[in-house]
Amino acid sequence: MSDPTTVTPPPVPPASPDPRESRDRNPVGPIVLLWAGLTIVLELFAIFVPARVMGVAASTNMADIKRAVTVFSIAAAPVAALVWSIALYSLLRWRHRGPEPPTQDGPPIRGNTAVQTVWLLVSGGLCLFLLVWGLAAMQATASTASNPLVVDVTGQQWLWTFSYPAAGGVSSNVLYLPVNRPVAFDVTSEDVVHSFWIVQMGIKIDANPGEVTHIGVTPDRRGTFAVRCAELCGIYHAYMQTQVRVVSDAAFRSWLRSGGGRVTSAATHGTPQPAGARASALGGLELRRGNG
């Protein structure tokens, strides 16, 4: 980022109503000023806005993601500002109005090796920075903690069922998790592809029929957060959501002992039948012709 104070504005030629004369003065100084100004505005936006819009983080995953979004925004701001400030300056200073084409051609610049090299190096460097940042974050996520709480997640049209194998198959349609304990989700689907998304924990993994996928998280904030389906899964996709309640370890244990939550199965699930869909006798939409 350039410091605007170091920039000496170029000598301004005598005021001329003809833009064609002012066109030829050195454009670098004013563009750097524009760039610096625009960069400051965009940086303020980058620092304060995106992470705030993303809401509270209920896990270190989400905190990392919010930080990544902020850092990427900070890195991108000068690039966007550079492109836009050159564009803006060219519109203000170099424009030719009117119904007729300009009578003079511009300078025949067919390239500039230095500029192109620097541009490639900088964009390559930014790219490398993003890659390293992303790989490091992935590494941190991948290092699984020992002794996680295993939760089996099953998606079906259009509800989630969570069961706790270690607690003898206690299951629930609302996800209960103890705070600050690593959780390992084993996710599958009974019908179509769903996507298991705990919005404020920044984790998402598809629930596929016939496969089990895995994802882990450590909730670090008590409260109630949203679980949503992030893959179009049929008519009630919009309503395939539930809650995750992150509670103290003691509260979690007593909830488990009480036998968990009331489980809604597909048979008792109260969603009305879609008119055009091919519903099976169970009420859920199954593959209309499973060969298995």
Of 148 and 263, which has the nearer Cβ to another protein?
148
Pick the stretch among 32-40, 165-173, 223-231, 252-260 that binds another protein (CB under 8 A).
223-231
Q: How far is the CB of 265 from another protein (least distance, A)?
A: 20
With binding defined as CB under 8 A, does residue 259 bind another protein?
no
Q: How far is CA 128 from the centre of its chain?
A: 20
> In the range 143-182, which residues lie near another protein by CB under 8 A?
none
CB 143 within 8 A of CB 256: no
> In the range 17-76, which residues lie near another protein by CB under 8 A?
23, 27, 50, 53-55, 61-62, 64-65, 68-69, 72-73, 76
Radius of gyration of the chain from Cα atoms? 28
With binding defined as CB under 8 A, does residue 288 bind another protein?
yes
Q: How far is the CB of 78 from another protein (least distance, A)?
A: 11
Candidate list 58, 203, 244, 247; residue touching another protein; CB under 8 A: 203
Candidate list 239, 248, 254, 282; residue touching another protein; CB under 8 A: 239
> In the range 116-145, which residues lie near another protein by CB under 8 A?
116, 119-120, 123-124, 126-127, 130-131, 133-135, 137-138, 141
Q: Which among 13, 28, 25, 72 has a CA at the least distance from the CA of 47?
A: 72
What are the tokens at 20? 């064609």
Q: How far is the CB of 181 from another protein (least distance, A)?
A: 20
CB 22 within 8 A of CB 42: no
Q: Which among 8, 43, 42, 58 has a CA at the least distance from the CA of 28?
A: 8
Question: 271's torsion region: left (phi>0), alpha (psi -120 to 50) or beta?
Answer: beta
What are the tokens at 145? 């903690």
Residue reference for tokens 């670098």: 28
CA distance 49 to 168: 45
With binding defined as CB under 8 A, does residue 101 bind another protein?
yes
With binding defined as CB under 8 A, does residue 109 bind another protein?
yes
Q: How far is the CB of 106 from another protein (least distance, A)?
A: 4
Cβ atoms within 10 Å, residue 278: 10
Q: How far is the CB of 280 from another protein (least distance, A)?
A: 10
